[in-house]
Structure 1
């Protein structure tokens, strides 16, 4: 069939439009594949402080502490888990026994993301028996709770799977986190990384970044650099918190810490604005580790740094 010149021109124009549409579609797909991670939201420090007030109230109503095997710990577990359940997380209460008492880990998974590349954020929820443990470690526990609730509010759709954890019996030697890894077995190969947050609101804070993995360290240090906040390599906590069992299992670990021990050198004193011999947290493991034993600025900065890291690492 012979086509008229007008018909041939129309067909050529249609073919050109189709080619352009295909090119635009390919460009869009390429952009989606190499998309820039969404910026994390600001986490209101007032919300983190409200959680700490609840943990303080729980301790006050249960003998002044939230220690492993004590009613204050189980009440803390119930409080955290209730908020996560209401926010749409899939939660698991993992039980273990230590010292003749039942302990609990809380695991909270956000739906979606590649479970063969799971990013975990964790904090220990228990206190020592001598006090309510609001900085150690209500601060880390409340910080990651509010980041988790922000994940829910924002409807985050991570490329990697996201899991939060609150550990029991850390004060007895990372018992809860070690139990989790023992039950996970070869499943550790599916963990992209584990981030640990233990004492993030110390009243004379330093900004310590774990240096165990350069990729994870960079995410935190880059964020603090944008805020002109000087950081220091975290070495004091090596082997003393829940990242240690993960590191021993071959999982890349990172995290933040605002200090528990003493300023030891003149250089540290100059950097952190204190004096040699001054404690980062004079109430460390003491009855005075209450809701008054918190630096709001450190708590705010560290919680926002956690949110940024999880948004970046799961994209």
Structure 2
């Protein structure tokens, strides 16, 4: 996650209890005027449980890649390209249509990896993504190996279930986020207007395994029309788990920002970065009050030891539930 002071988290609690049916999103704001809502989906296949062992195995691979390539997976470094190649190979084998989009930042070539499940209405696209690059200081296993690994395993679960969704599903792993959201901004800015208008919502997953975790859902306040539905869908799995959430405004510090500027509804999950867990949060979620959610944020100690397995498991399952709900089974 890009360095910037977090805005205050607010509105503790969840918004919905019980199962959620897939629904179309409201028409995006005027900056996305060509978009029209898709037809409601009346029934949804149950999302599978995402095997936490598989997610952690992906994190181990990302750690090994960093260790073998100078200790990091940063933009322009060999560890980043090796991370892209690892994820792409598994998506290709699972039947995805993958695209490697290149761009230049700081005199080095960067890459976005896009993966599309080739079923569902291509005029109604749901996107889920997170950044794959680390800072140069360390391997970036929580930031953002955690989101990247969970997204990969959710994508593989789609393939294992041989899902035939109503809406089209597209995943993105962004490059050079740590340099200022470069990759995701490049992607959105270079989308033809017709293609941009087909994206009904974007979900962002950046740091979902913090060792002293909070359970934060991106607030829809001030975001494009339709974001409130994404907030509701992302909060619902935690309600079913009996895990309270808080809304947080992450401002422009992660890859949802470019989509929001384009008028595309956005949502996301987050377990905290350099901010300090309060006593009230420690009572609610466990962990240690007065300490950062992630004491290894942007540091060399952001390794596979810097992951809370329970938070990673809960968030991975929540991602799957949101994806299945929004694309329809």
In the superposition, the TM-score normalised over structure 2's length comes to: 0.83
Task: Tell me the distance in 2 between the aligned counterparts of 1:311 and 1:90.
Answer: 19
2:325 to 281, 291, 312: 312
Task: Tell me the distance in 2 between the aligned counterparts of 1:98 and 1:300.
Answer: 34
Asked whether the equivalents of residues 262 and 280 of structure 1 are also in contact (C-alpha less than 8 Å), the reply is yes
Please say if 1:130 is aligned against 2:130.
Answer: no
Please say if 1:110 is aligned against 2:117.
Answer: yes
2:218 to 199, 210, 231: 210
Please say if 1:302 is aligned against 2:312.
Answer: no
| Structure with more helix by fraction | 1
Q: Which of structures 1 and 2 has the larger relative contact order (alpha carbons within 8 angstroms, sep 6+)? A: 2
Alignment gaps of 5+ in structure 1 = 1-32
Pairs within 5 Å for 1:46-65: 46-65=53-72
Task: Tell me the distance in 2 between the aligned counterparts of 1:121 and 1:265.
Answer: 30
Please say if 1:37 is aligned against 2:50.
Answer: no
Go from structure 1 to structure 2 and tell me whether the alpha carbon gap of 1:282 and 1:96 turns closer, same or farther (over 3 Å shift). same
Greater Rg, structure 1 or structure 2? 1
1:268 to 281, 291, 315: 281
Alignment RMSD, CA only?
A: 1.3
Could you tell me how far 1:276 is from its partner in structure 2? 4.6
Alignment gaps of 5+ in structure 2 = 1-39, 221-226
Task: Tell me the distance in 1 between the aligned counterparts of 2:157 and 2:281.
Answer: 34
Could you tell me how far 1:277 is from its partner in structure 2? 3.0
In the superposition, the TM-score normalised over structure 1's length comes to: 0.87
1:278 to 277, 284, 291: 291
2:264 to 238, 242, 251: 251
How big is each residue's C-alpha offset from its partner over 1:245-278, in whole Å with a ceiling of 9 and x where there is no partner?
Answer: 1111100001100110222644334333355531
2:203 to 188, 191, 195: 195
Asked whether the equivalents of residues 214 and 281 of structure 2 are also in contact (C-alpha less than 8 Å), the reply is no
Asked whether the equivalents of residues 263 and 275 of structure 1 are also in contact (C-alpha less than 8 Å), the reply is no
2:90 to 83, 94, 112: 83
Could you tell me how far 1:214 is from its partner in structure 2? 1.2
Go from structure 1 to structure 2 and tell me whether the alpha carbon gap of 1:113 and 1:278 turns closer, same or farther (over 3 Å shift). same
Task: Tell me the distance in 1 between the aligned counterparts of 2:256 and 2:145.
Answer: 17
**Matched pairs, number:** 282
Task: Tell me the distance in 2 between the aligned counterparts of 1:269 and 1:217.
Answer: 23
